[in-house]
Amino acid sequence: MKAHDVMVSPVVTVKPSATVKDVAKLFLERRISAVPVVTGQGKLVGIVSEGDLVHRAEIGTEQRRSWWLLLLAEDQELAADYIKAHGRKIEDVMVRNVITATPDTPLDEVARLLEQHGIKRVPIVRDGQLVGIVSRANLVQAVASSGSKLEIPVSDGSIRDKLLLHLNAQRWAHTELLNATVNDGIVDLWGVTGSETERKAIRVAAETTTGVRAVKDHMMVRRIESGV
């Protein structure tokens, strides 16, 4: 699956000139936690989230540094903190360096971006124009709906071949002591594994192979005796 398969479109957006107060109201009214910031031509220039509105002067929650951090802080850092707490327009508080993806970005790459940068959503951009957004929730929704499409029946022989081919490509799977039989979509796993974890991973591989209806695990774990 790719980003365009799960992205939300059209996207609720705001302009850089929007006020902080109006965006806070928008979050509450639309029950959202972030919005991309776009120009009148639809170009993405930033993103603002609830986290950007937490440390605000009007509610007395400005970010306060301890005395020793104040001594270490650069003047520019302190000025940036002041803008974040007192700026009235979204262009003053928004994040400008936005992590984005394209509609054709694979979902595993989108997930990697979310995890690597510690963010909750990725705007989807085509030729500089915002076309959608993918959040962690959208990925969870994709997981929940996966496998709901009508599947074409797969022969038992194809299931076995696909499973063994997949396991042979895994460094952790010791397939020289493994066998699998398939009857009417039901996989029976036989053999010896090096650990309980490997045994579980092999079972998971079988359960997620297309066409498999059930898995019966007859495998044993090799017990390694320690020498004296």
pLDDT of residue 5: 87
Residues 109, 15 within the same domain: yes
Q: 69: pLDDT confidence band, cut at 50, 70 and 90?
A: low
User: What average pLDDT does this structure show over 134-144?
Assistant: 85
Exposure string of 70-85, with b = 16+ CB inside 10 Å and e = fewer, is eeeeeeeeeeebeebb
121 and 32 together in one domain: yes
Which residues fall within 8 angstroms of residue 2, CB to CB, at 6 or more apart? 103, 104, 105, 106, 107
Tokens of 146: 């996966």
List Cβ neighbours of 102 (8 Å cut-off, separation of 6 or more): 3, 124, 125, 126
- 58 and 162 co-located in one domain: no
Distance of CA 11 to the CA centre of its chain: 18
Q: In the predicted model, what is the mean pLDDT of the chain?
A: 85
Residue 104: exposure state from Cβ atoms within 10 A (0-12, 13-18, ≥19):
exposed
Q: pLDDT confidence of 225, banded at 50, 70, 90?
A: very low
Shared domain check, 82 and 109: yes
Instruction: Give the domain extent around 187.
Output: 156-221
Same domain, 68 and 107: yes
Q: Which of 68-82, 141-155, 192-206 has the lowest mean pLDDT?
A: 68-82
Helix (H, G, I), strand (E, B) or coil at 130: strand
Task: Name the domain boundary from 125, 145, 165.
Answer: 145
Assess whether 81 and 7 both reside in one domain.
Answer: yes
Comparing CA positions, the residue from 150, 144, 152, 211 lying closest to residue 180 is: 211
Predicted pLDDT at 67: 55
pLDDT of residue 214: 94
| Structure token digits, residue 101 | 């993806």
What average pLDDT does range 58-63 have in this prediction? 75
Q: Tokens representing 133? A: 């957004």
Quick one: CA torsion of 90, 96, 99, 104, rounded to 10 degrees? 80
CA atoms within 13 A on the CB side of 41: 5
Q: Does 96 fall in a domain?
A: yes
Measured CA to CA in angstroms, residue 6 lies from 9, 43, 104, 117, 129 at distances of 9, 21, 11, 20, 18
Distance CA 22, CA 28 (A): 10
Q: Is the pLDDT of residue 78 over 70?
A: no
